[in-house]
Amino acid sequence: MSEKIQNVLEEVGSKLENPPANKDALVKLLKQAATSLSELEQSPSKELLKSMQPFVNAIVKPELLKHHDKEVKLLLATNTCEILRVTAPEAPYDDDVLKDIFRLIVSTFSGLRDTKGPSYGRRVTILETVAKYKSCIVMLDLECDDLINEMFTTFFTVVSDGHSETVITSMKTIMVVLLEESEDINQDLLFIILSVLGRDKKAITMAARKLAMNVIGQCAGKLEPGIKNFIVKSMSGEEASPSVSQIDYHEIIYDIYRCAPQALAGIIPYLSGELLTDKLDVRLKAVKLVGDLFSIPGCSIPDTFHPIFLDFLKRLTDRAVVVRMSVLEHVKLCMLSNPSRSESSQLISALCDRLLDYNESIRQKVVAVVSDIACHKLSSISPNTLKLVADRLRDKSLHVKKYTMERLSDIYRTCCTKHMSDCYDWIPGRILRCFYDKDFRSDTVEYILCMFLFPAGFSVNDKVRTWVRLFSKFDKVEIKALEKILEQKQRTTFYLTKRYSFSFTIQESDDLEVKKKVIICFRYMSHCFTDSTKAELDFLLLHQLKDANVWKILTKLLDPVTSSLQSSKSRDELLKIVGQKHPLYGFLNILSIKCSYILFDKDYVKDILLEVDLQKSSRNSLLTQSCMNILVILASFSPLLFSGTEKDLIHLLEDDNEAIKEGVLHVLAKSDGVIREQLGESSKLGLFLERLCLEGSRRLAKYAVLALAAITKDDGLKSLSVLYKKLVDLLEKKTHLPSVLQSLGCIAQTAMPVFETQETKIQSFIKKDILGCSEKTSDKTKESWDDRTELCSLKIYGIKTLVKSYLPVKDTHLRVGIGDLIKVLSNILSFGEISKDVESRRVDKAHLKLASAKAILRLSSNWDEKIPVDVFCLTLRTSELGFPEVKRLFLRKVHQYIKDRSLNPKYACAFLLDLGSLPSVQEEKSEENRNLNDIIHMCQQGKTRQVSVQSDGKFLAVHPENILPYLIHALAHHPSFPSLDECKDYKAYEPIYRKLYLFLSMLTHGNEDGKPGDSLKKEEVISVLSILESIRSSEDATDTNISKNSYAICDLCFLIVKRLAQKQEDLQEPLVHVHVPQGLYTEKDKNEEKEKEDKKHATKGQTWLGEASVVAHFESLNMEANESVASINIEDDMLKDFEEADDNEVPLGKILERLKAKITKERKLVKNGSISPAVQNSSYIDNNNDDDIFGMVREVDMNNSGVSNVHEITKSDEKHKRKRISNQTISVSVAKCQKSMVLSVFDNIKMSDLEDKLDLEDHVHTKEHGNTDGSDLEKPKRHVDTDVDNSKSVSLKKRKRVSVAGLAKVGESQHTTDLIGRRIKVWWPKDKEFYEGLVKSYDHQKKKHVVLYNDGDVEVLRLDKERWVLQNKSSKSPRPKKGSVNKKTKVVDNFKKNNESSDIYPSSMVRGKRTLRKNTKERRKKLEYLEVERTYDLDNMTDSEHEHEDLTFSKVNNLDSDEDASDKQRAKDAENRLPNDSDSENVADVSESIEEYDDESDDMPLGVWKSRVRKSDESK
C-alpha cells in the first residue's frame, strides 16, 4: 500500500514540476495527491518522506499557491494541510512558505457557510485536521497575528446552527488552542471575540455568540486581564476608537457572566461604583445589567458577586423612581427564574420594605411583583408576606388599594386552582373589610367577589364548599360587611323592580306623580354606589334609554330563577350591546352585578342544604354551623332563593341537632312568607312550632314564634292567639317558665294586639310571683359570678319579657305605662331586687342589676326621653359593682349598642364612672380605653358627616364633646365625690382629674383619618369651654346643692383644656352659647345671670379647685402613667425620707420639694383657721418673708448630726459644659394664694450666704408652641453655703423638671437687633442643658439670629421659637482692648491648665447639635479667644451692668397685670441683694469658683458640696 502511495506521489510530484496549463488536469493531479496523503499516517518512514519530497516542493510553487481558481486553491489547501500533518512535528517549509500555506488554509474556511456546496466536505476535513493535530500553533511561531484575527473573524461569520457539532467543536478547539498557547492576547483578537457578544445583535448569529462564550469559558484565566482592561477602559470612556465605542460593555459583561463569571472578579468594584454613581443613566444601566445577571435561569449568584447583590438591593431605596422600578422588575425576574434560590428570603424582605415607599407607583409595583411571584409558585411567598401586601388595602392611594384587591383575588384564585386555599382563606375576609372603606363600598368589593375570586372552571359545589369553609373563619366585621353588601343588593333589586313596574304607567300617561316615584327609586338606589350623585345621574340617563333589549336583560337579571351562569352570559350580552364607548358602560357594569344573583343563586341554596347533611354525617359541628349561618343570611336578604326548598327545610327541622334546628327556624322566620304558599295550611308544622314555643329551649322558642308568624297568612295573629292562651296557662302553672317567658316576650314584639289581651295578668305574675320571690342567703363568704340561682335566672327572664313588651316591632309610641317598668328597673338598680324586703344572695343581686342596666340601654333606643336622670345615673354606675364581670359585660354592651347607633353616646360616661370600683387589670383597662376611644372616633365621624342620632332637645350628644355635660353631671352626683367644704386634700380629686383628662385627651384622637393628635384644636377648645361656661351659668336640675360639685369639675376641666390646648391664645377666644340638657341643668336666676351677661371669655373657677396652688399640683401630675396609680402623699413621703437610715442620702431637690409643699399646705391651714397657734409660730411658716427654704435646709442639715459620709466625687458627664454658669432656672411651680398665675419658686427664696455674691434667677423664654407644662425642662441645682461640720452628707442628684403652668409667650420686640452683641444661653432639649453663646447678627426678613457658641459652633435660630436665657441684661460684649493683655494671658493660661488636667476638651463634649463639628484646633483657638473676651467683659462692667448680671426670672401668664405689691417688694429686695461696686471685681472669681465645682455637683452629697464652696470662699 505504501509503495502505491509512494509511486502516486512521485508521479504527481514530477508532473507538477511543470504544472499543466489545463485546469482539469491540474485538479486531477491534486485530487490524486490529496487522496494518497490522506491515507498516510503521521511521521512515515524516511524513505517515504524522501520519495515524496519532490511533490512537497512542487506543491508550494508560487504559481500554484497564487492560482486564481477556487477549486485549485481548495485542493492545494487540502494537500498542504495533509503535508503539515504527515511531516509534523518537523516543518517542511520555511517561514514565508508556511505563511502562504496558512493563508491559503484560512481562506478555505470562509466556504464553510455553504453547508450544501460540493466542496463543503473537503473544507470540513481541512478544519478537522487543523483542529485535531493543532497545526495552527505554527501560526503563533510565525507571528501571523493578522491571519489569526482573520481566522477568528471567519469562524464567527460562518458558524451557524446548521453546522454539525463536529464543525463547531473544531472551530472552538482551534481558537482555544491559539488563545492558550499565546503568551499575550492581542487586543485586536480580544476585540474580535468580545464584539460577538451581546444580545439582540442583528449582524451576529446566536451560534457565533455561543461559540464566543464557549471559547471564553475555556480560556477565562487567559482572557481575564484583557477583559478587565477592556471593560474598565470602556467604563471610563478611554477607548476612543469608533468601533470599540459601539460595543456595549454591559452586554459583554452579561455574556461573560453566563460562561465565565470568575473572569469578572476584577470589575466588581467598578460595577459597584456604577450602581452608586450620581449619574442617573449610568446607574440605571448598571441596575439593569446586574438585574439581568441575577435573573439568568439556572444560574446561582457566585460568592464573589455577593457585594454586588447587596448593592443591587440597596438601589431599592434609590432617590430616582425609575431606578427603583427597574430593581423591582429584575427582582421579580430573579424570583421567577429560580423561586427556591438561596437569596429568595433577602429578595422578599427587600420587597416588603418597599411596601411603604412614598411613591405610589413603587408601592403598586411591589404589590404586582409579590403577586406575580405568588401566582407563579405559592410556596415561594409566605402567608405573612402576603398579609403585608394586603395591608396596602388601606393605602392612601386609591389606585394602589384597587390594584391590591385585584391581585389578592388573583392569588386566591390561583390557590383554589391548585387546591391550596386553606392557608389563604383570610384573603376574602380582607377583601370584605374593604366595604367599610369610603373609596370602595360595595361597588368594587362585590365586583371582585363575583368575577375574580374563584377560577372560571369552579363548579357551584366547589364554590359552596369554599364559602362554607370561609364562613367558619370570618369574624363579625367580615360577616357584617357581607350582610351590608347583600342588603344593598336587596335594596337595588327591590327599587329596580319597582321602577320596572312603573314603566307601563309611564308609557300610557305622563303622570307627574309616577315620575316622582321613579326619581325617588333612583335616589334610593344611588345610595348603594360609591358616588351617589353620579349614580343618580346615570339612573336618569338609563331611564331615558330607549333600547328595549337593555331593559329586557335587566329584567332577566332580576329574576331569582336565573342561575349565576345565565346571569353572567346575560351581563356580557348587555355590555356588548351598550359598548365600551357608551357613557353608561361603567355604570351598567356595576349595576348588572348588583341586581343579579351571580354571587349567590338558587343552586347555591340547594347545595348548601345538601352540605348540611354531609357535614352533620361527618360530625363537623363547625362547618355545620357555618352552613346554617349562610342560610340565615341569605334568607334575610334574598328570601326568594328559598322558593322550592320547603321539604328540605322541614326535613332539617326534624333533626335532633339543636344548631340545625335553630338555623332552620331562623330561616323560616326570615323567609318573609316566601315559602308560605308552598307550605299551605300545614297543621303538622304549626303544631311542631307550638311545641317548641312551649317546651323547647329559649333560643328555639324565640325563633319558633317568629317562624310561626312568618308562615301563616294573617301575620300569625290566629295561630299566635292560640299559642298565647296556652302560654298563659303554663305561666300560671309555673311549668317551662324560661321558654314560656321567652315566647311571651316574642309575641309582645310581633303581635302586640294579641299580647294586650292578657298583659295585666302577665305583668302582675312576673312582678309578684317571680320578681317578688325571696330566697334565703347562703353563709358563703365568697361567691362566684357563675353561682347564679335558678330563681335569679327566672327574674332576669321576667325582666326581658317586660322590656320586650315595650319594644314592639310596630307602633312603639302608642304603648303606655312605661313609667311603671322604669320604676321597677330603678328599684332593682338601687337594691338589687324589686324592693328592699326581697332577700337574695349578693351575686344574684349583681346579676339582676346588670340585667336591669341592659334593659335601660335597650329601652333608651325608643324611650330615652322617658328615662329619668336618676335612673340614667344609676345605670351608669352599674360598672362599679363588686364583680369585675359586671363591668366588663356592661361596658361591652354599651360599646356595642353605640356602635350600632341604637344608643345615645351619652352612655359612654359609664367608661369613666368606676371611681369606687376595684382597679381593673391592665388588659381590661386597655379594652375599656380602646372602646371609649372607638366611640369618640365614631361620634367625630358622625359630626363630620352630620349623622342623625337621637338627641335631648337641642343638645346633640352625637358630637363627642357634647358627652361632657352628662359626664360632669354623673361625676357630680357620684356618691364618692368629695365634699368641697370638708375635704381639702388634693389627692381626693385626682381620680376625677384623671378621668376627665382621659376623656378630653381622646378628643384629640377623633380626627376623620383616625390618626391620633397631641392637642386640642381651636374649634374643640371653644366648644368645650362654651359647654363649661354654660354649666357654670346653670344649676343642677335635680339638686341645687350639687351645683358646686359641677362647678368644681368645670374648674378641673378648664385646667385640662388649658394643658391640652394647641395654642394658649385659643383660651381667650369668644365663647358661643350652648344649650345644655334641660333634664340635667336649669338656668340660674335672672339677677345672677345679668351679672355675667357681659362675660365673653372663659374665667377662673368658682371653687377653691381653681386656685393657683391647686393648679400647680394638678399640672405637675404625670398623666402618662396608668390611671390606677395614685399620687404620693407629700407629707408622708417627706417624713419617710427624713427617717431613712444613716447610710442613705436624701437628695437636696427632694428636700426642697417636700418642704415647699408642706409650707404651702400649712399656710392654707392657717388661712382656714384649722391649725394650732404653736404650729403657726413654727419656723416653717413665715408670712412676711414667705419661704426661707435654704434656711430650712440648713436646719435639717444641722439637726441630722452624726459622722459625715464623704463620698468619692466623680467627674461630670461629657454633656456638661466646663464653664457652665450655675445659676439656671428653677422650674418648680409654687402658687400664690390669691392669684391664678404660678411664679417660680426662687421668686420667694432668700439666699443666706451667697445672696451678696450671685443672684440665681434666670429669665426664661419658652417656645412659641407653648410647652406650658414644662415637659422638656430640667430642674437646675442650687448651691448652699452652710456649715457641714457634723452634717450627714446628702446627695444632690439630677432631678426631673416639675411642670410649669402659665408661661407666657415672648414678644417679638425682645428678638430684634437689641440682642446683637449680647450673651445668651440657649436650651438644648436633647442634652437638657443650656449652652452659652454670643448673638452676632439678626435677619429682619427671616426673623433669625446668628448665635456663636463658646465652643466655636455657629447656629441660626428663631429665638421666638426657642428657650433661651439672657446673660447680660444691659450690656453688649465689647471688643478686647489693648490694656488688658495681662488679664488675657492669665485667663488663657488658666484655661489651658484646666484643659491639661482634664482629658475632655470643651469642644469635644457631646451635644445634640444640628451642625457639623469643626476642626479641633480651630475650635480651641476660638475657645481661648472667647474666654479672654468673656473675662474682659467681666472686668470692664459698669455698676449698672453688675446689677443685671445673671439676672433671670420666670415670666408667667398675665404677670405684668396681676402682680401684687408683695411680689414687687420681693423683686426690689432681690435687686438690693446684688453685689455693689466693691464686690464687682470679685464677681468673676466667685462665679469661676462656683463653676469649678458645678460640674461635679450633680451627684455630690450636700455636705461635701457646701464644704467645697466654703473653702473656696475662704481661699478667695
| Residue that is written with C-alpha cell 407607583 in the block | 361
Between 853 and 679, residue with greater pLDDT: 853
CB 1152 within 8 A of CB 1293: no
Q: Is the dihedral of CA 1066, 1071, 1077, 1079 positive or negative?
A: positive
Residue 1199: per-residue pLDDT: 43
Tell me phi and psi for residue 1198, to 5 degrees: -75, -35
- What is the maximum span of the chain, computed from C-alpha positions, in angstroms? 155
The DSSP line for 313-356 is: HHGGG-SSHHHHHHHHHHHHHHHHH-TT-TTHHHHHHHHHHGGG
Residue type, 1274: E
- Compute the distance between CA of residue 478 and CA of residue 629 in angstroms, rounded to an integer: 13
CB 704 within 8 A of CB 667: no
| Span of 14-28, 307-321, 924-938 with lowest mean pLDDT | 14-28
Angle between helix 1043-1060 and helix 1018-1032 axes, rounded to 10 deg = 160
The most confident of the ranges 664-678, 944-958, 1349-1363, 1366-1380 is: 1349-1363
CB 941 within 8 A of CB 1008: yes
Residue 505: per-residue pLDDT: 55
Question: Taking the chain, what is the end-to-end CA distance rounded to the nearest angstrom?
Answer: 129
- Compute the distance between CA of residue 859 and CA of residue 853 in angstroms, rounded to an integer: 10
Tell me phi and psi for residue 1292, to 5 degrees: -110, 100
DSSP state letter for 1336: E
Q: Has residue 479 got a pLDDT over 90?
A: yes
| Span of 267-281, 302-316, 584-598, 1297-1311 with lowest mean pLDDT | 1297-1311
CA atoms within 13 A on the CB side of 962: 20
- Compute the distance between CA of residue 794 and CA of residue 86 in angstroms, rounded to an integer: 120
Residues 1129-1186 pLDDT 10s: 334 444 344 333 333 444 555 555 555 555 555 554 444 444 433 333 333 333 334 4
Residue 1426: per-residue pLDDT: 42
How are beta strands 1364-1366 and 1448-1450 bridged, if at all? Answer: unpaired
| Span of 3-7, 404-408, 532-536, 1456-1460 with lowest mean pLDDT | 1456-1460
| Span of 25-39, 467-481, 716-730, 1207-1221 with lowest mean pLDDT | 1207-1221
Residues 534-554 pLDDT 10s: 999 999 888 888 788 888 899
- Compute the distance between CA of residue 934 and CA of residue 235 in angstroms, rounded to an integer: 60
Confidence of residue 531 (pLDDT cuts 50, 70, 90): confident
Q: Is the dihedral of CA 1030, 1035, 1037, 1042 positive or negative?
A: positive
Q: Average pLDDT, whole number, for the chain?
A: 75
Rg value, the chain, Cα: 49
CB atoms within 10 A of CB 143: 11
Give, for 12, the enclosing helix (H) or strand (E): helix 2-15
| Span of 735-749, 798-812, 1085-1099 with lowest mean pLDDT | 1085-1099
- Compute the distance between CA of residue 1200 and CA of residue 1144 in angstroms, rounded to an integer: 12
The DSSP line for 1223-1288 is: -PPP--EEE-TT-SSEEEGGGSPPPSSSTTT----EEE---TT--TT-TT-EE---------SSBP
Please list, in sequence order, all residues whose beta carbon lies within 8 angstroms of the beta carbon of residue 523, skipping any fewer than 6 positions away.
536
Residues 726-748 pLDDT 10s: 899 888 888 889 999 999 999 99
- Compute the distance between CA of residue 783 and CA of residue 1486 in angstroms, rounded to an integer: 73
- Compute the distance between CA of residue 835 and CA of residue 159 in angstroms, rounded to an integer: 109
Confidence of residue 1399 (pLDDT cuts 50, 70, 90): very low
CB atoms within 10 A of CB 951: 16
Between 761 and 1167, residue with greater pLDDT: 761
CA 152 to chain CA centroid, nearest Å: 62
Mean pLDDT of 1462-1477: 45
Mean pLDDT of 827-850: 90
Residue 1151: per-residue pLDDT: 53
The most confident of the ranges 245-254, 464-473, 1199-1208 is: 464-473
Full strand arrangement of the beta sheet holding 1448-1450: 1354-1357, 1344-1349, 1329-1339, 1319-1324, 1364-1366, 1258-1260, 1448-1450
Mean pLDDT of 1480-1488: 39
Residues 398-447 pLDDT 10s: 999 999 999 999 999 999 998 887 889 999 999 999 998 888 878 889 99
CA atoms within 13 A on the CB side of 397: 15
Mean pLDDT of 74-100: 84
Confidence of residue 18 (pLDDT cuts 50, 70, 90): confident
Residue type, 1216: H
Residue type, 1262: T
